[in-house]
Amino acid sequence: MLAAWLRLQLDASVHLEVSPSTGTGGIHGVTMQRRSGEIRLERSQPSIATLEQPNQPTHDISLPRRSLRDCLAEELRRLDPDDLFGEVAQKGLALLTASAEGAGTEGK
């Protein structure tokens, strides 16, 4: 869903790479290529992510994983439709799949 959201919001090509599971689940990192260079956000420890940007100091960011219980509690506080999720599910995933098929790779 993150790759589909980035594809939809940035109108840029997105390459999705799925690594073998380490048992911790979730997203471990995101890398973006820009004209100014590579931006990388990578979870180096279970609750710490490292942000690297061109011509900027490296930053460690507190980014603890949220439990399923916390995620469900947040979702149940808002019972209205999630328009952004709907747009990403309907349009973003289709763009991501079309990009992957055009490149001759699997799109998941």
Q: Which domain holds residue 75?
A: 1-15+66-108
Answer yes or no: do 52 and 31 share one domain.
Answer: yes
C-beta separation of 97 from 107 below 8 A: yes
The predicted-structure confidence for 1-28, as pLDDT tens digits, reads as follows 888 888 888 887 777 777 776 666 677 8
Answer yes or no: do 72 and 103 share one domain.
Answer: yes
DSSP state at residue 64:
P
Answer yes or no: do 60 and 70 share one domain.
Answer: no
Answer yes or no: do 70 and 106 share one domain.
Answer: yes
When divided into structural domains, the chain yields a total of: 2
In a domain, 58, yes or no: yes
Answer yes or no: do 33 and 54 share one domain.
Answer: yes
Task: Tell me the pLDDT band of 108, cut-offs 50, 70 and 90.
Answer: very low
Per-residue burial over 23-32, b = 16 or more CB atoms within 10 Å of its CB, e = otherwise: eeeeeeebee
Answer yes or no: do 57 and 70 share one domain.
Answer: no
